[in-house]
């Protein structure tokens, strides 16, 4: 700095940077699944905006017993060189693949996973997930995505149950008259037969038997249909656990939490999901892992299964 007389002075000032940002631990996936008796490793990295890669400095507390089915929680802790600490918990699922249906011995806690409105572009991926754990489910299919209908035959060959959810799922059409309902249902039934060689007797009403949208098209039609389907040899199924996957703000985590919270409240659960939703399929694996770790048996619906009927409102 120079004044008007030409005198110059210099002053040095030390500026200290205070780092208050903690490092970030990132995992390869949101959880780890380990088949009983196999080794495992959890992929993760730790990075700090100032200190860079801190992966080697991560401390892991807790342990997963690979010889015992269960859910284990490991804690990952890392500190940067400024003393900022990050701690993250992670679930480790140790599971055993479910036995084949003919040798299953259900414990009394039963889960029937059901998927409506498919098949879709997500159904094939869902089938792969189910294969991994030898879990069988029920698909209530319609004709909205006919290009993927080959997945109906694929699912049936893998041992999953196929139910009829009408062809059009068009409320104004199927609930305008009893004849229109059966015309639509029978058309879909023929398509299912072409894929499976079997005329399914499992059905689910679009909107469920408790739907009120049908009032707009034919007052009292649901009261008529719930009785007439039985006289024709059908068995209809509602649900007692909803994934909430048709909600506006639904996502993978909300689906998982809704289903798990529902399973905890009862011993027999019929779960409603939609395999048209990618995020619902994303949640299925961890739902299965949680169920297997907690002693639940997953079964497909058949004519001897509990129905869980809603109260009819029309």
C-alpha dihedral (281, 129, 157, 159), degrees to nearest 10: -90
150-173 pLDDT, tens digit each: 999 999 999 999 999 999 999 999
Q: Nearest 5°: CA angle at 64, between 285 and 132?
A: 25
Question: Please, what are the domains in the chain?
Answer: 24-95 (2.60.40.10), 101-298 (3.20.20.370)
DSSP one-letter string for 60-113: EE----TTS-EEEEEEEEEE-TTS-EEEEEEEEEEE-PPPPGGG----S-EEEE
174-192 pLDDT, tens digit each: 999 999 999 999 999 999 9
Burial class (CB in 10 A: 0-12, 13-18, 19+), 265: exposed
> For the chain, how big is the Rg over CA atoms in Å?
27
Question: What is the pTM for the complete model shown?
Answer: 0.90
pLDDT for the residue numbered 247: 86
Going from the C-alpha of 82 to that of each of 16, 44, 50, 59, 95, the distances in angstroms are 13, 22, 9, 17, 40
Per-residue pLDDT of the chain (314 residues; tens, 9 = 90+): 566 666 666 666 666 668 899 999 999 888 999 999 998 888 899 999 999 999 999 999 999 999 999 999 999 999 999 999 999 999 999 999 999 999 887 778 999 999 999 999 999 999 999 999 999 999 999 999 999 999 999 999 999 999 999 999 999 999 999 999 999 999 999 999 999 999 999 999 999 999 999 999 999 999 999 999 999 999 999 999 999 999 888 999 999 999 999 999 999 999 999 999 999 999 999 999 999 999 999 999 999 999 999 999 99
Q: What is the CB-side half-sphere exposure of residue 292 using CA atoms within 13 A?
A: 26
- Dist CA 205 CA 166 (whole Å): 8
């Amino acid at each position: 700095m120079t004044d008007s007389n030409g005198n110059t002075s210099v002053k040095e000032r030390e500026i200290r940077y205070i780092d208050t940002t903690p490092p970030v631990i990132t995992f390869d996936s949101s959880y780890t699944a380990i088949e009983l008796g196999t080794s495992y490793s959890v992929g993760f990295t730790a990075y700090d905006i100032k200190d860079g890669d801190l992966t080697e400095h991560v401390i892991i507390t807790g342990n997963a017993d690979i010889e015992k089915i269960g859910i284990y929680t490991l804690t990952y802790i890392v500190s940067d060189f400024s003393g900022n600490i990050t701690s993250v918990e992670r679930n480790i699922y140790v599971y055993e693949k479910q036995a084949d249906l003919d040798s299953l011995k259900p414990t009394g806690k039963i889960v029937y996973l059901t998927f409506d409105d498919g098949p879709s572009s997500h159904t094939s991926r869902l089938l792969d997930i189910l294969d991994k754990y030898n879990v069988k489910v029920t698909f209530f299919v319609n004709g909205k995505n006919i290009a993927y209908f080959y997945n109906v035959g694929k699912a049936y060959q893998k041992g999953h149950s196929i139910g009829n959810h009408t062809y059009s799922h068009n409320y104004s059409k199927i609930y305008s008259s009893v004849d229109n309902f059966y015309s639509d249902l029978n058309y879909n039934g023929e398509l299912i037969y072409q894929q499976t060689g079997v005329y399914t007797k499992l059905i689910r009403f679009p909107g469920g038997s408790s739907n009120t949208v049908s009032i707009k098209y034919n007052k009292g039609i649901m009261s008529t249909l719930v009785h007439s389907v039985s006289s024709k040899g059908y068995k209809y199924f509602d649900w007692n656990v909803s994934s909430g996957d048709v909600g506006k703000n639904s996502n993978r985590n909300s689906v998982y939490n809704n289903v798990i919270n529902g399973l905890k409240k009862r011993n027999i659960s019929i779960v409603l999901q939609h395999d048209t939703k990618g995020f619902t399929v994303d949640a299925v694996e961890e739902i299965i892992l949680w169920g297997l770790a907690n002693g639940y048996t997953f079964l497909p619906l058949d004519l001897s299964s509990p129905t869980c009927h809603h109260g009819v409102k029309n």
